[in-house]
Amino acid sequence: MHLKICHRTEYRYETPVRYSIQELRLTPPKLAGQQVDKWKISTPIKATNSFDPFGNYCSVFVQENPYTSMMIEAEGEVHTQDAFEFIDDPKAVSPYYLLQQTNLTEPSEEMLAFFSSSLPTKNAVDEVLKLASAVQSAVVYSPGETNFATTATQSFAMKSGVCQDHAHIMLSLCRASGIPARYVSGYFFAEESPNLASHAWIDFCSNIEEGIWTSVDITHACLIDSRHIRLAIGRDYYTAAPVKGVRSGGEGEELSASISIAQLN
């Protein structure tokens, strides 16, 4: 598919922000199944660009003058094809590092017991997809009940969440089963479900020695396809977040984000 994407994030504050640092992972990489035709990020001031340890293209900008509103826009065009397998660059983070749990993915005994019959015994696609189906069935997709700081155990206890929560639970269970897994942030094109435009899923390492990863969308319990656009990878949401930052001042924050994805002829 040929997709046009526009992602706008706007912050407003009741009192001025005195100082802030913003970190963006909003640039889709060029890789299997994904060709970036054009892409532009607009920020209030010039950003410094680099690659982070996971190979994500990262833009950082610092604002030292007071402000009460800020706009960040990313837009461009991407050609996609069905592809769900990815091979690491030789300099990539070791898959073994991605066996470690994080604060967002640490499992509870109750969660492990609940999914015990679905836990994979090896890093095979059919076994991991079986687990994805179990997670999707147990945790109902329900926007507005969780946020970026909700942990896997919290969303599991609620039996509800969104794609980010599905991904964290899946990461937790894969790692507990001895399978390296990483968080993927990105976009999902579905005309009938625009609330899924901002999306998240996981990669699990299907061949550790060769650094081969297979991408699974837990919310849809399937391998990813041409509807998915990858942005960044990490240990969890926090290390792959499209937009994050810290600030001094700025009481009464109001955040609004909009994403539109259109298919072009």
pLDDT tens-place string over residues 121-149: 999 999 999 999 999 999 999 998 999 89
Task: State residue 190's pLDDT score.
Answer: 87
Flag residues of the chain having pLDDT under 70. Answer: 194
Task: State residue 103's pLDDT score.
Answer: 97
**233 vs 231: CA distance, rounded Å:** 7
Written as one letter, the residue type at 264 is L
Residues 214-249 as b/e (b if ≥16 CB within 10 A, e otherwise) read: bbbbbbbbbbbbebbbbbbbbbbbebbbbbebebee
Structural domains of the chain sorted by starting position, each given as residue range(s) with its CATH number in brackets: 2-80+243-264 (2.60.40.2250), 85-240 (3.10.620.30)
Task: State residue 91's pLDDT score.
Answer: 87
Q: Where are the beta strands (DSSP E) in the chain?
A: 2-24, 34-42, 48-51, 57-63, 67-80, 85-87, 140-141, 160-161, 181-188, 198-207, 212-217, 222-223, 228-234, 243-249, 254-264
Radius of gyration of the CA atoms of the chain, in A: 18
Task: State residue 232's pLDDT score.
Answer: 97
- Read off the pLDDT of residues 27-69 as tens digits, 9 standing for 90 and up: 999 999 999 999 999 999 999 999 999 999 999 999 999 999 9
**Token pair recorded at residue 109:** 């005994």
